[in-house]
Structure 1
Amino acid sequence: MRRPAALLPTAGPSALLGRLPRDRSEVPGRWLWVVIWLVFLADPFSDLLTGDHTGWALLGGWAGLLAFVGLYLALVARNTTKPPATGRTLFLLAGVCVLAVLLPLTLGESWLVLLVYLAVSCGAALPLGQARVAVLVTAALGVVLPTATGARPDAGLVVPTLLGGFAMTGVRVLVRTTVELRRARATVAQLAANEERLRLARDLHDLLGHSLSLITLKSELAGRMIDVRPEAAAQQIREIEQVSRQSLADVREAVSGYRRPTLRDELAGAAVALRAAGITPEVPLDVPLPDGDGRLDGEREAALAWVLREAVTNVVRHSGAGRCLVTLAARHSLDGPYLELRVEDDGRGPGTAPHGNGLTGLAERLDQTGGTLESGPARPAGPRLGARSAQGFLLTARVPLGSTP
């Protein structure tokens, strides 16, 4: 009988842990990491094809094997963030347990490998404390059942049983930690948004409270004076206009400050967004500028920051990439110094999602500051992005440094 040296039918890609698939393209990958471990059922399958069994035994063996695989997949392929030990999962686990014991006893030692899958099922379905005990009991069955089938106890069965069961409990702990971390991040983001709303409310109150009070008082005064002192009332109205214009300018300046992103903030946000999506980021921490002859004004910085935000959003949503490289470099040309932003991924490349108005709007925003925008397939695979970058997508934005045009 062939013994699996290390049977661990437990974990999938780390990006899929602790959450449901983002879209249908992730579903086959999630199932693949469960189904692939069924290869170790080759012993029971071979026994049914070549073993010396009666017709009824063959019929029962095929039915039992199909039922076992179905129950196992229903247990292990379920979303690992769901609460364990529900009535349904306990019913499925009982079915796996009965088949894992009954089939080896009736069909022989080739079926003892089912105990490894039983241990993994226990690790997936039971609370962690009970799961560890159940794995140890299953390993003990790996010592007892071979004797009942006429074979000798073998560490080649007991060790994979322990490894598979305890590995699944470890994956469960990792998934639970990942879910809690995601919830904590969402809570922090919500608190930050609430704090920003409060700050905006305080600033607008400070800006408009005095001005609106003054406008109200002068309006009441002008209303009382308009019949008896029309010239004084007209002066009050002119002052109301001046206060209103100044208040409008203050509000526009404040809102512009809120809406204008900075490159440093967007670089930090890009790294966080890419990591959260399971994409390895390579993002600089600062904005390089040439000495002496280069200056990045607020409008151009905001334009590049919007480009970076839109590019990273597209990488997260559409690229299917594993890595994303962001570079900022100050360069020189015949027209003078300029700052170049490049966002390159190793995903599926152009055409993976329908183009909307995003790139067009970015190009228009850059054009207003004298900049340019280019996009297309990334360069061939290189040492920075790895050998799997066959196409990818590259977005390049440039803005001049110096005086505003």
Structure 2
Amino acid sequence: MALTQEDHHRTGIGKPPENRRQKLVKGLWIGIWLFYLSAPVTDLIHGGHSPGARLLGGLGLAAFVAWYLVLVFRTARQIAVRRVLFSVVVLAAQATILSLALGREWLVLFVYVAISSGAALPGEISRWTVPAATALLTATAYAVPGGEAYLAGLLVPALMGGFAMVGIRAMIRTTIELREARATVAQLAANEERLRMARDLHDLLGHSLSLITLKSELAGRMLPGQPEAAAQQVADIERVSRQALVDVREAVSGYRRPTLPGELAGARTALAAAGVVAQLPADPADDLSEEAESALAWSLREAVTNVVRHSGAKRCRITLETRQTLADPVAELMVSDDGTGGPAVPGNGLTGLTERLEAVGGTLSAGPAGKTGFALTARVPLALGSGS
């Protein structure tokens, strides 16, 4: 499947950044939260500390931020838990030393400790480290002059931020597993389809090719002594070859024939990707001939393509019902939307659908639906399915 330009610039959940742009976006997103370090920075500038304390405090803050960013950036990679836990302990030690040495404004560093532990450690460990970081925050706040006044505003962000990151990490892990499972299912489906095609082609061509080989050998032995008998064998070879060609064409046509369940699944995916709220039928009719089902499936594909590409719709409703007409019962497929509407413009798509439906005794109608929106209705007689 070809990737669009948008796919190259967008990083999905559970997917590490793959290019410079994605890394920049992730870096900016993480960097936004460093805004809360304005309290320690302001304290360094206006807190009345000595030049030496300012220098050491600035170096300590820079080391803390660097360690925090490295830890958070590398959460998507497989790192030994011991190394991550050691990094969290280092962050906690830095936060404690800076808070005790420089004052209560530095207690906000513990929020970053809790968040980084929730983001970088497995859930079974982070559910203990987040409360531990919060408990260390509480103990340090009581040891710092005036720290109790800041404690109430930091406990909730530390706990909620830490456990929120635990939930996000679990969601990322689940997303990765779902993506891997989906890729595995797709690979298995492709393998199964290849096996089915190989089996069908073997069944179709195995006997015919064996017969052609046998008759070719017979014709070779009969020449030049029995030209009439050899000519008969050549005629048989031609007949078998033509029949094999017909069988292969029918098989390939069957592979290409769309089905209603497959097109409904594709419509659900396409409409969701386009941001269109879809209402689809639960089960397609099961009493249609292959030709009638194929005609309705082509109609559904064309209608959904028009909704996605041209309508600008927010909602799309697809119905598949059985209706009794004066002549015979029919299966009716209707695709309606709330888009820009407008008259139906005859083109290759609608013309081709009309021809497909007329070939099985069906009809097609398309046009505006109400003040806005568009509706396409395809009908095929159910009587075609009785003999299948």
Same fold (TM over 0.5): yes
Tell me the CA shift for residue 248 of structure 1.
0.7
Cα offsets for 1:46-69 (capped at 9, x unmatched): 222322111222222223223322
| 1:73 maps onto 2:73 in alignment | no
Tell me how far apart the structure 1 counterparts of residues 204 and 16 of structure 2 sit (CA, whole Å).
46
Do the aligned partners of residues 194 and 364 (structure 1) sit closer, same or farther apart at CA in structure 2, a change above 3 Å counting?
farther
Aligned counterpart, 2:43: 47
| Secondary structure at 1:112 match in 2 | helix
State the AA in 1 paired with 2:112: Y
Matches within 5 A, 1:108-147: 108-147=103-142
Deviations 1:115-159 (A, max 9, x none): 010111112233333322222221111121112212254333223
Q: Deviation at 1:201?
A: 1.0
Q: Which has the higher helix share?
A: 2
CA distance in 1 between counterparts of 2:349 and 2:17 reads 36
Taking the TM superposition and a 5 Å limit, the aligned residue runs for 1:361-400 are 366=349, 369=352
The residue aligned with 1:251 is 248
**Aligned match of 2:12:** 16
CA distance in 1, matches of 2:28, 2:314: 25
99, 117, 120: which one aligns with 1:104? 99
From 63, 86, 93, the counterpart of 2:59: 63
Q: Deviations over 1:169-216 (max 9, x none)?
A: 222111111111111111111111111111111111111112112212
Contact in 2 for aligned 1:311/1:343 (Cα 8 Å): no
Q: CA deviation at 1:340?
A: 7.5
Deviation at 1:268, TM superposition (A): 0.7
Q: Tell me the secondary structure at the aligned position of residue 81 of structure 2.
A: coil
Q: Normalising by structure 1, what TM-score?
A: 0.66
Provide the C-alpha distance between the structure 2 equivalents of 1:329 and 1:235, rounded to a whole number of angstroms.
Answer: 57
Q: CA separation in 2, counterparts of 1:180 and 1:199?
A: 28
* 2:277 corresponding residue in structure 1: 282
Residue pair 2:302, 2:349 contacting (<8 A) in 1 also: no
CA change 1:340–1:213 in 2 (3 A) is same
Q: Do residues 179 (structure 1) and 176 (structure 2) align? A: yes
Normalising by structure 2, report the TM-score.
Answer: 0.69
Q: For residues 260 and 136 of structure 2, what CA distance do their matches in structure 1 show?
A: 61
2:29 to 33, 56, 63: 33
Structure 1 residues 195 and 112: CA distance shift in structure 2, 3 A: same
**RCO (CA 8 Å, sep 6+): is it higher in 1 or 2?**
1
Gapped regions of structure 2 (runs ≥ 5) = 1-9, 285-290, 321-332, 340-345, 355-371, 381-388
- The CA distance in 1 between the partners of 2:80 and 2:305, in whole Å, is 40
Q: What is the CA–CA distance in structure 1 between the aligned matches of 2:316 and 2:221, rounded to whole Å?
A: 64
Identity over aligned pairs, percent: 47
In the other structure, the counterpart of 1:334 is: none
Decide which structure has the larger Cα Rg and report it. 2
- In structure 1, the partner of 2:152 is 155
